[in-house]
Chain A
């Protein structure tokens, strides 16, 4: 067993060097295959992210919000969920989406500008991306209150009970909505897990602009437990989320998880972080890379060999191809689609507007035909 983590409050099960450590409250019990599965998830979502970033650079996406550095926080928490748990994400939860089985191309549609997401949130229990900071935390609480009323809370285990998981960032903790979500969840003992990825930055604003105390400590003021976990440790984020989910599902109320991590890239492809943070900080966090540590652990313990890594590399290449081709194939929507789904029951004024617009567009087609 290796040294204890440098910070006593931080739950860690796998050190940056790839050594297992014990924790009095949290443990995982993975088979070798499961461990390789987690590595595969981490590697593939990083690949999705790299491909999307490249597609943005080539003008195929309008913008991309990279999850680079936050893979373990997302895979650990995402894989801890059961079939009845529901995710309420921000715009950066590509890894969680992956765990829930959402096709990455769905995510790309939003960033390419062909739709607003548009997937069915109930299909994979993964709700739409939310760009307005913090708004989804209240939705998660309300959803959890619904689960509660549907009899989905109790001792039936993950097959019969469920919880909602609200994802948000360190910056979001300053929003009124998020603080209201804490209060509601606490008052109603809603089965919800608040999963905060503290990546140290909210665009250019450092953590200190949002808080004077460690974020997880805020939870106690709202009346529920808070825990800080090494967000770059996929085993620890899994264990901590699993425990919080179990607590929520059995009716003991919310938990706040602060996944302590780092935004390795720019805020989005539109951002230039050299204006506000120093390279040394990024370099220091590189040493805590979430994927490297699992890789060295798997290699050192002989749980994965060279062939396995090579096969994964091949799978990763195939996935990148799928994403690239799928993105390039994504057609621009017809302009008329903007009138779709504005209401459940279409109404006449909007139908008229739609018709007029169709006639207007058609007038160009007939004039261009006349000229040709």
Chain B
């Protein structure tokens, strides 16, 4: 019973279950994660099987969730915190940025904070405000946090376990509009070749590199298929880790294709694409045939859902950037 078709959400459930079976110190904390199984059902059935001491339905306070998770971690536990939606992580921001991120360094390495903060992120599900944000850059900007984003069920299954196993705090972004996408998951096949902090070439190509993560990987793969019909060969990278960034993989790809487009839902200004563009410019300037281009959200509040499709990068906007790069 090792191979099965699994949604991304279910793959995380399975990954959490495996992590909890492996280590009795792993505890889950969050709002509505017990009986309800979380609003996305990611923790479905876990409280029933592991009990209320290990799957903790918390009071409605995100600062409380993170602050107490830090205390539990100091006591030797490995809390996995669920933030219900991206827009609700901010009450916990102080605990994450000022406490969680710095405590290992402040204790001169004495304290370890093996905490995972799971955050469903991104738009495209027709939700009301605060339910479609992409706050990853705030966290990637904070030293001491590892920041990752999964894009498919197989990675989701393995990456959540690797995140739980990490002795550093990990902010774990889940692409909520991909929760229901399915893939074959063979749990006996072992984890992927890449470590948690490594990117992956998900489609090889010769003419241009398109780098993305989380929900945008699928958009870029679709763009690559469409471009192939027109004779353009796009290489697609799934960055997977946003902090640290796996620049070796990015740079190696750009050295082959000489062109780079970075795609994310978050606003382009000071987003992940800005950092990648700067680093690529520094480390392989002479290999570039065009400036690094960014496709992302606008510098506006996330719009009401009836026009969110216009805000979100889609196949056309990715291909538009590809064309502009190739025409350079």
Contact = CB atoms under 8 A, between A and B. Distances in A.
B61 A175 contact: yes
B51 interface: no
Interface string A123-136: 00000000111000
B126 A349 contact: no
A203 B40 CA distance: 13
Is chain B's binding surface mostly helix, strand, loop or mixed?
A: loop
A106 B204 CA distance: 50
Contacts of B34: 204
A8 interface: no
Interface residues of A, number: 44
Contact of B299 (A114, A115, A353): A353
A357 interface: yes
Interface stretch (A70-78, A281-289, A333-341): A333-341
Given A203-B31, A204-B35, A332-B307, A175 B301 contact: no
Interface in B98-145: 126-130
A273 B47 CA distance: 17
A337 B320 contact: no
B61 A176 contact: yes
B304 A113 contact: yes
Interface string B304-327: 111110110000110010000000
Contact of B35 (A114, A174, A276, A357): A276
Given A275-B36, A338-B300, A342-B299, A62 B127 contact: yes
A57 interface: no
B307 A360 contact: no
Nearest to B298: A353
A220 B131 CA distance: 35
Interface string B284-301: 000000000000001111
B37 interface: yes
A203 B37 CA distance: 12
B63 interface: yes
A116 interface: yes
Interface string B3-36: 0000000000000000000000000000110111
Given A203-B39, A342-B300, A209 B127 contact: no
Contacts of A132: 87-88, 90-91, 130
Contacts of B265: none
B35 A333 contact: no
Contacts of A338: 298, 300-301, 303, 307, 310-311
A204 B37 CA distance: 10
A210 B87 CA distance: 21
Contact of A210 (B36, B60, B91): B60
7 contacts: A62-B126, A133-B88, A175-B91, A203-B31, A338-B307, A342-B300, A364-B316
Given A116-B301, A209-B59, A332-B306, 17 more contacts: A62-B305, A112-B306, A114-B306, A132-B90, A174-B64, A203-B31, A203-B32, A205-B57, A209-B58, A275-B35, A335-B303, A335-B307, A335-B310, A337-B303, A338-B310, A339-B300, A353-B298
Interface of B: 31-32, 34-37, 39, 57-61, 63-64, 87-88, 90-91, 126-130, 269, 298-301, 303-308, 310-311, 316-317, 320
